[in-house]
Structure 1
């Protein structure tokens, strides 16, 4: 395993996204990172691999199960009937 770490700029280049996107995901604790100081953030290769594989899994997973919207509407209708 390599001990080399990459910068926010290098990760943004690798992912073909903006620096701002990387910064927001770090700030919101959505992506693993190493904080070396108040303004110094780095990423290990293992963390980069996790970020990429997490994005791939999220892209493959459907937002909802088929028919979920209809089920939610039915449950809301039943709830409204009980309250009304």
Structure 2
């Protein structure tokens, strides 16, 4: 698995934005990715020093479409803590 395959997309929710004050960044990652692979992918792609990585398996929610029950897709979320002074420019809008 390449580094581009590990990180699917950044998560830009209100909670994820609040975590950036603690120097933590949130990504949707491949469900088969390990913490070590996630750390390496963030380090290589964004040129930052990663201190810690926490992963969470997020279950899909029940939804209704035209009266029929359905589910949103489940995914794996990674919260990556960077070393003090490090930032990811993509999240900052630059």
TM over 0.5, shorter chain:
no
Q: TM-score range by the shorter chain?
A: under 0.3
Taking structure 1 as the reference length, what is the TM-score of the superposition? Answer: 0.25
Larger radius of gyration: 1
Q: Specify which structure has the higher proportion of helix.
A: 1
More strand by share: 2
| TM-score normalised per structure 2 | 0.23
